[in-house]
Amino acid sequence: MRALRLLPILALLALIAACAPTRPGPSGMERSLAEARALLEQGDHRGAVDIYAKLARQAEQPQRDRLQLMALEAALTPDLLELAKQYLAVLDDQYLNEEERARKRLAQARIALLENRPGDALDALSYPIDGLPQDLQQRFAEARAEALALQNLYLEAAGEYLRLARASQDPQQRRQWEEKLWNTLIQAPALDLYNWLLHSDDPELRGWLELAWIYNGTPIQGGQLEPRLQQWATRHPDHPAAFLLERLRAQWAEMQHYPTRIAVLLPLSGKLAPVSQAIIDGLLASFYAVADKMQTPELRFLDTSGHEEDIGTLYRAAVDEGADFVIGPLRKPVVEALVTTTTLSVPVLSLNRIDEDINAGDLLYQFGLAPEDEAEQIAERASIEGLEFAISYTPDNAWGRRIGERFKQRFEELAGQLLASGYLDPRSADYSTTIMRTLNIDQSRLRYRQVQATIGRPLKFEPRRREDVEFFFLAATPRQARLLKPQLKYHRAGDVPVYATSLVYSGNPDPVADRDLDSVLFCDIPWLFDDTPDAELKARIRQADPETLQRLPRLVALGVDALRIIPYLRRLASNPHERYAGVTGILRLDEDRRLHRRLRWARFEKGRPVPLQRIPQTEPATEGSHEQQGAKATGASG
């Protein structure tokens, strides 16, 4: 009978056991982990995350947090970024050991890199890693190199990869680090490579720097590549970068060919005709400059005026007549009309960018003098220089708000803060109201009036501006900038640095009119400075059409690069690390085939723009005592 009385209790216990969550045993856990690793190898990160998450829900601490850490690491992809951030937010260090805490910091850095926040990534990577497993130390160094490269600190990033390559005992792994080293250095301007080469005392690094300088500084025309490569091989026998020589020869050979016929679609009549003429001046100057060095295409110019609505018809007619490449159209609405109404059959290099939400396909390359590139470059330079708080001044129109918003977006991505935005009325000459509002001087005066009203007698008063602003971002015409700068000084902000877009400079030195712009730092296209290596080309244009070159120099430069870059486009599209050194800037192509520019830096001194770095007119020294040539190179400069 006693046994019968126990039966209901045993049944209840069995029921409770059946309702409890089932925890996988050791063998089940191992099978699940092996399955997750296999999914990662196949590229199925979401599947691996799901397995780790399921195991974590069934596990007790500390195993639960370790499995959540695995889920976090598996989610470090662009598609799963938000999920990775959720895992990072709930993951506590309490149950993690030293190695696992380091992995969490590395994951934090990877999230910052995915969000294009290299400064935050470097902060996360500032973690003691001595004594940790070698592969984890390597992953820290690799992430640090990626963050440095995103900040345009290419020399420091290359140094990380060089140390990794030297430490590797695996030839295949060493070659991978060397490829990353090479892809980092070729992003640097030839001018920076030149200066680093002059001041480096590391023989192996010098070999890498010199080869990257040859790569970035050698034109595809003129047959200069082979002599330079032979000289490099003689100076650097048995150098690890020697495997690149045949690759460079093959790339140069591939780029010796232009399309046979190029159609140029521009508004040749109407109000935009002067703009088109400036671009044509640059195109023709480039055309005749290469005519003696390589086979040049046939150019045919077609007027898009009156064809804005049926631009596709004009494009198809050009293709039917034999065009195998098209330059243009110029206006953004016309470019958008072309790609939304026409199936492209030959490549197009448009001279404007379209909205990002339009799918343009693989045959459209988008070029132009987009001011957004300049706003982003200013944000990046300020961040590298450690500046965190800014005030922006832009024109009071849609263009000004768009540029100000792009600066704000990039600056905040880099952990900066835009304190205030001021908008400059194009019709006004007095910006006092805007300045006082953005500098909080109006609030200072309001507090004075309130205190005076409270005590009922006059007070000695000196208005004070806010003290937290570290620099001004300025996108303004020369006239607006010449008016604004003295007024900032009047309101006791004359000592705050000003970083300006190219709009601040007319394109021609005017020391009398620009004397009030002294100390303003701005970025602009290389073509405008007197040390450009294209002085002969510029002289040819000046002789043919001096008025256009004087009035619209940047559009002339756009025409120069529009023709020159054509042989490079496929290479730029195939490798995101590739750069083209043009007269409009250092050009790169993004995943949507938009060309982005990186400009040169200059500062107004005595009313004249002075580049922060001068372009050398001779090749870099390659022998002799480097200690006598200067201090060791440590980083990128303007």
pLDDT one-digit tens code per residue, 115-129? 988 989 999 999 998
The whole-number pLDDT of residue 446 equals 53
| C-beta neighbour count of 533 within 10 angstroms | 15
The whole-number pLDDT of residue 414 equals 85
Say how many residues make up the chain: 638
The one-letter amino acid code at 628 reads Q
Distances (CA, A) of 253 to 21, 262, 318, 446, 568: 66, 21, 28, 70, 11
The whole-number pLDDT of residue 56 equals 87
* Below-50 pLDDT ranges, the chain: 1-21, 444, 448, 451, 461, 623-638
The candidate with the shortest Cα–Cα distance to 205, out of 239, 238, 237, is 239
Q: Which residue has the tokens 């034999």?
A: 322
261-369+532-611 fold: Rossmann fold (3.40.50)
The candidate with the shortest Cα–Cα distance to 487, out of 449, 517, 461, 442, is 517
Q: Which residue has the tokens 């002289």?
A: 539
DSSP string, 360-398: --TTEEE----HHHHHHHHHHHHHHTT--EEEEEEESSH
Q: Which residue has the tokens 């490269």?
A: 149
Q: What SS3 state is found at 595?
A: strand
DSSP string, 435-451: HHHHTTHHHHHHHHHHH
Q: Are 587 and 565 in contact (CB under 8 A)?
A: yes
Question: Quick one: 121 exposed, middle or buried, by C-beta within 10 A (0-12, 13-18, 19+)?
Answer: buried
The whole-number pLDDT of residue 292 equals 66
**471-474 vs 498-500, strand pairing mode:** parallel
The whole-number pLDDT of residue 447 equals 55
633-636: long-range contacts, CB 8 A cutoff, minimum separation 24: 633/155, 633/195, 633/196, 633/198, 633/199, 633/200, 634/155, 634/156, 635/153, 635/155, 635/156, 636/152, 636/153, 636/154, 636/155, 636/156, 636/188, 636/192
Rounded distance, CA 595 to CA 589, Å? 5
Task: Return phi, psi of residue 406, to 5°.
Answer: -65, -40
The whole-number pLDDT of residue 449 equals 56
Q: What SS3 state is found at 636?
A: coil
Q: What SS3 state is found at 624?
A: coil
Burial 368-383 (b: 16+ CB within 10 A, else e): bbbbbbbbbbbbbbbb
Same fold, 26-189 and 261-369+532-611: no
The whole-number pLDDT of residue 624 equals 39
Task: Return phi, psi of residue 350, to 5°.
Answer: -75, 155
* Structure-block tokens of residue 182: 């090479």
Task: Return phi, psi of residue 366, to 5°.
Answer: -110, 120
Q: What SS3 state is found at 173?
A: helix
Task: Return phi, psi of residue 204, to 5°.
Answer: -70, -45
371-524 fold: Rossmann fold (3.40.50)
Cα torsion 90, 96, 101, 106: sign:
negative
The whole-number pLDDT of residue 177 equals 96
Mean pLDDT of the chain: 87
Q: Which residues contact 498 (CB under 8 A, 6 or more apart)?
A: 471, 472, 474, 485, 488, 519, 520, 521
HSE-up of residue 236 (Cα within 13 Å, Cβ side): 24
Q: Are 620 and 192 in contact (CB under 8 A)?
A: no
Q: Where are the alpha helices (DSSP H) in 134-292?
A: 134-150, 154-167, 171-185, 190-199, 203-217, 225-235, 245-254, 273-290
All structural domains of the chain with their residue ranges: 26-189, 261-369+532-611, 371-524
* Structure-block tokens of residue 354: 């379209």
The model's pLDDT over 469-520, given as tens digits with 9 standing for 90+, comes to: 999 999 999 999 999 999 999 888 999 999 999 999 999 999 999 999 999 9
H/E run at residue 48: helix 45-58
Question: Quick one: 309 exposed, middle or buried, by C-beta within 10 A (0-12, 13-18, 19+)?
Answer: exposed
618-622: long-range contacts, CB 8 A cutoff, minimum separation 24: 620/194, 620/197, 620/198, 620/210, 620/213, 621/198, 622/197, 622/206, 622/210, 622/231, 622/235
The candidate with the shortest Cα–Cα distance to 438, out of 474, 413, 462, is 474
The one-letter amino acid code at 77 reads T
Rounded distance, CA 381 to CA 612, Å? 13
The one-letter amino acid code at 340 reads T
H/E run at residue 103: helix 98-114
**Right CATH for 26-189 from 1.25.40.10, 1.20.1260.10, 2.70.98.60, 1.10.3470.10:** 1.25.40.10
Q: Which residues contact 579 (CB under 8 A, 6 or more apart)?
A: 186, 187, 189, 216, 572, 586, 587, 588
